[in-house]
Amino acid sequence: MKRMAVLAAGAAALTLVPASEALAGKRYQATIARTTYGIPHIEAKDWRGVGYGVAYAYAEDNLCLLAEEFATVAGTRSLHFGPEATATLGFEQVDNLSSDVFFRAIIDLPALQEGAKTLTPRVIGLLDGYVAGYNRFLKDAGTQGIPAECRGKAWVRPITRDDMLRLNEKQMLLASSLNLAPAIANAAPPGSPAPKAAINMPKPGELGMGSNGWAFGGDTTANGRGMVIGNPHFPWKGPSRFWQMHVKGPDGYEVMGVGLAGTPLPTLGFNKDIAWTHTVTQAKHFTLYQLSLDPADPTRYMVDGESLVMTPQTVTVPMPEGTPAVTRTLYSTRYGPVFVIPNRGITWSAATAFAVRDVNRSNQRGIEAWLRIGEAKNVGEVKTAVSETLGIPWVNTIAADRHGDALHADVTAVPNVSGEKIKTCATPISGLFAEFAVLLDGTKQSCDWDVAAGTPVSGLMPASDQAATIVRSYLTNSNDSYWISNPAIPHRQLSPVLGEYGTARSLRTRSNFTETEALLAAGKVDHARAQAHAFANKSLAADMALDEIAALCSSESPLPEAAVRGCKALAGWDHRFEATSRGAALFRAFWAKAGRLPGLWQVPFNPADPLNTPHTLATDGTKGEKLLATLAEAVAELDTANIALDAPWGDVQRVMAGNAAIPIHGGPGTLGVLNMQESRPAPYGGLMPVHGTSYIQIVGFDDKGPVADAILSYSQSTNPASPHAADQTRAYADKQWHRLPWHDADIRKAQIAKPKRIAE
């Protein structure tokens, strides 16, 4: 309450002076109006002002989170939090020392500073404005205005443009080499001590990334205009949380949507003519290289018979007071840094090493790409924006416009590596890496990325070789590859670097197509039907498996007592993950094991029927016995966790807001649930969501502009003292959609406080 009083007093002081007098001649100025759920509407006359207002409003809601991010990218986590504590990098936990070594080595600040000279003036304005707005908030808040969680901490400090460059670099690497941070930070020549940090091979299906996105064209909507359903799946905690904003800037720029920590404008949302969402693409944004080392020196490697020296880089990581700094030397090649994953046989020996080349290192084109998307008047202009900049780092773009056109563009920054090159440059062990990345032969210069004319950076794959489709029916993506975004129009085969072709789709993708086709078969889409579609909470795995499980349960042969209890609980389940669904927790525990059983399906995958295959649970002989044994194991698991087999799902999966429990609907994507919520055991019992449905938007258009309903599942603020720390979470639990105020009259009507004008 004290912090809120300080902020209110500051706001009052800022509005006492007439606006024209207070803002005259100021370098940075913005107006911030807050509406229902604390959503800020930021207006500025120039790009500096946009960044200024966005940063100030974001810091009001999430200062501690953002301040910690700046400490992370500066490589000072060990100093402030201890080397053995952990950081959230991408979607995984990494020890602080590995994090610090990684960022101090991989972020090439001089190169980023040089690259910033080529950025457009408006991007520079956004970055510099963000710096000024963040620092202004620190000044206005004072010591007592800082949230209790980070008050008085040395890592809460003013920032510079360098901090923004570092943070942008981290965001670009989020779904690529950032996931190799411990593997890079702990790579050392043979003879060095074995790394103490945990180093694992990231698996695409386990990186925690996901999302669903739909673009409906005019032929499928009730009013003949386009409609977008955006359902990105992102973490509930940490720096990859979304935050809502509405931005009005110069030259008619006006966009409402969300961004991640430190983004100076919406990166997913809508304007008056188009709406868009993103899903993490299956395309690979880096390649690995297998190196043959010089027998005389393991820090030299051979390319076309020539011995090349690796580039050493010594980094020093400061430690807490009284502890000596840690110094490490990492090595880099023409392809990129050397990395190791010992438990997968990826080691640095006297003969062999491995390096990673990431297409998103020094990718500073992203902000300009999102600016251009936000300015687009139709989906053709969205396609042009992503194609010309090649700045979108790791997400599909799914969009629709008021004219009734729909777009799916799997066009990102990817290495220009053809299918033929992948074959000719494969090494004997390339197949072992295929699920994770493309492994190429580093001994041949010809195996480097191809150079295509017209790309903004050498080595990028041109947009013409990637996948982009515009239709008036519908297009959708649930993180599988470009191959099928509408079953009626499968895409032609492209380079394997863009994802798998002709392979089995995930249960979530199959559920998407099944439910979408059923939705359209019942009539054209409007907001109400889109809302029901987004939150149906059906499990395709349950629909596919439970008839056969029921048959096993009715067997005349005696069953284990635990299996009998499990059969009874599943018989009463509605196949959904609604808060009221009984038996959902048991099926979740069962399918986590059963879904991995070999020979699970009687009918195998058929590329000619990807929506319906594989299917029919295999229950003959020992396979049926194994399924019942697995069910018994799931019963025992819930018994151990003190979860009743028929407990309502909302009593099991919940979050705490103070002392109040909020039931959370939605379930695992691996069970074919579109409204994905992945959970872990909670300290207060049951399960708590950690990753899944985050910002959900349904955007259509009428004669006046966009018509948008949305919910941010985990709410705007990470400050427990904020009134907006759990208000939208309660709305999500109740499926209460919020009609976003876009027009000035609607904003004024929804305001929860007087507009705040800031300037300096």
Q: Which residues are catalytic?
A: 211
Place of tokens 């190429």: 440
Half-sphere exposure of 312 (CA within 13 A, CB side): 9
Dihedral sign computed on CA atoms, order 494, 496, 498, 503: positive
Tell me the β-bridge partners of 663.
654
Burial class (CB in 10 A: 0-12, 13-18, 19+), 322: exposed
Answer for the pair 184, 356: CB distance below 8 angstroms, yes or no. Answer: yes
CA angle 43, 44, 50 (to 5 degrees): 95
Query: Residue 531 corresponds to which tokens in the numbers above?
Result: 């809302």
Question: CA 382, CA 399: separation in Å to the nearest integer?
Answer: 8
Place of tokens 């493309």: 438
Nearest Cα to 673, choosing from 585, 583, 549, 541?
A: 541
For residue 53, what is the enclosing H or E element?
helix 47-73
Question: CA 756, CA 185: separation in Å to the nearest integer?
Answer: 44
Query: Residue 15 corresponds to which tokens in the numbers above?
Result: 């509005």
Question: CA 203, CA 211: separation in Å to the nearest integer?
Answer: 17
Helix (H, G, I), strand (E, B) or coil at 221: strand
CA angle 284, 290, 295 (to 5 degrees): 165
Please give the radius of gyration of the chain, using alpha carbons only, rounded to the nearest integer: 26
Nearest Cα to 363, choosing from 459, 260, 289, 427?
A: 459
Q: Quote the crossing angle between the two packed helices 622-640 and 584-594, to the nearest 10°.
A: 130
Nearest Cα to 642, choosing from 689, 680, 686?
A: 686
Which is it for strands 286-294 and 438-441: parallel, antiparallel or unpaired? Answer: parallel
Query: Residue 621 corresponds to which tokens in the numbers above?
Result: 């002989």
Give all strands (DSSP E) within 467-510, no chain letters.
467-471, 474-477
Helix (H, G, I), strand (E, B) or coil at 7: helix
Helix, strand, coil abundance in the chain, percent, nearest 5? 35, 25, 40
Answer for the pair 664, 654: CB distance below 8 angstroms, yes or no. Answer: yes
Nearest Cα to 391, choosing from 187, 120, 750, 635?
A: 120
How many residues belong to the chain?
760
Encoded amino acid at 753, one letter:
A
Answer for the pair 254, 275: CB distance below 8 angstroms, yes or no. Answer: no
CA angle 556, 559, 563 (to 5 degrees): 130
Place of tokens 């009005």: 248
Burial class (CB in 10 A: 0-12, 13-18, 19+), 680: exposed
Tell me the β-bridge partners of 297.
294
Nearest Cα to 757, choosing from 21, 4, 6?
A: 21
CA 670 to the chain's CA centroid? 17
CA 538 to the chain's CA centroid? 23
| DSSP assignment letter at 342 | G
CA 472 to the chain's CA centroid? 28
